[in-house]
Amino acid sequence: MVKPLSAVLALALLLCGRAASAQTVAKPTNMDFQRVCNAIYNRDEKLQVDSEFIDFRFEELMLEMAGAIDANHVVKPKEEAFALVRKMWLANRGNFRCFGYTGVLATERNVGKFSMGVDFPVVLNVFMKKWKLDLGFKDAYDGKTIYQFLLDEKVRLLTEVPKNEGKILECDRMAAKLKTYVDNYQNPDALK
């Protein structure tokens, strides 16, 4: 016969183990990061899951990396999924770089910079508006934030002949949006 105290202790240890495993942060590999970069670069990859809050393949891949989509392609509820992405991002953002893209100015840099380098600002919009990721950190590659990268990119674009006015405006617009976002950023998970 199991003593009541032993049963309570066993149950407490079991629950603590589950709570600890629920708190673990996903550990993506460099190949996982590269798959996201490829999805950003190619843009036309088809989604593998059906979800009302996933619009692009790069989102799906990041949700998978974060543990928000399981092996059977079942997506966790929206808020839980987004919180998992934020945790994964905070733990891995310094390593989340895109490598080996010939002709892309932002190759070797953070995925946010890379997305602007391949003219796909949608990525930063998802990071800010949908997932509410912390984007005010410095990239280990160049020691600059995404905002600083955009300011440098605008200066570079202004010296090109002929000037690409559309790209200059997009860079300027995104830099202003990003500055406001970073200046006012509050981690949604810390507010709970």
Cα angle for residues 189, 190, 192 (degrees, 5° grid): 70
Please report the pLDDT score of residue 4 as a whole number. 47
Share of the chain above pLDDT 90, in %: 72
Please report the pLDDT score of residue 11 as a whole number. 39
Please report the pLDDT score of residue 95 as a whole number. 87
What is the average pLDDT across 113-130?
95
* Straight-line distance from the first to the last Cα atom of the chain, in angstroms, rounded to the nearest whole number: 42
Q: Which long-range contacts (CB under 8 A, 24 or more apart) does 123-127 make?
A: 123/40, 123/58, 124/174, 124/177, 124/178, 126/55, 126/56, 126/58, 126/59
Please report the pLDDT score of residue 99 as a whole number. 92
Lowest mean pLDDT: which of 1-10, 68-77, 80-89, 131-140? 1-10
Please report the pLDDT score of residue 191 as a whole number. 62
At residue 96 the predicted structure's pLDDT band, cuts being 50, 70 and 90, is: very high
Q: In Å, how far from its chain's centre is CA 178? A: 15
Domain boundaries, given as residue ranges, for the chain: 27-183
**What sign has the CA pseudo-torsion 43, 40, 78, 178?**
negative
pLDDT at residue 15 greater than cutoff 60: no
Query: Can you tell me the distance from the alpha carbon of 83 to that of 91, in angstroms, rounded to the nearest whole number?
Result: 13
Residue given tokens 């919009």 in the structure block: 125
Tens digit of each residue's pLDDT (9 = 90 or more) over 32-72: 999 999 999 999 778 999 899 999 999 999 999 999 999 99
Beta bridge partner(s), residue 97: 110
**Residue count of the chain:** 192
Please report the pLDDT score of residue 26 as a whole number. 79
Measuring CA to CA, how many Å separate 150 from each of 22, 114, 156, 187?
37, 11, 10, 23
Q: In Å, how far from its chain's centre is CA 143? A: 19
Considering the entire predicted model, what is its pTM? Answer: 0.84
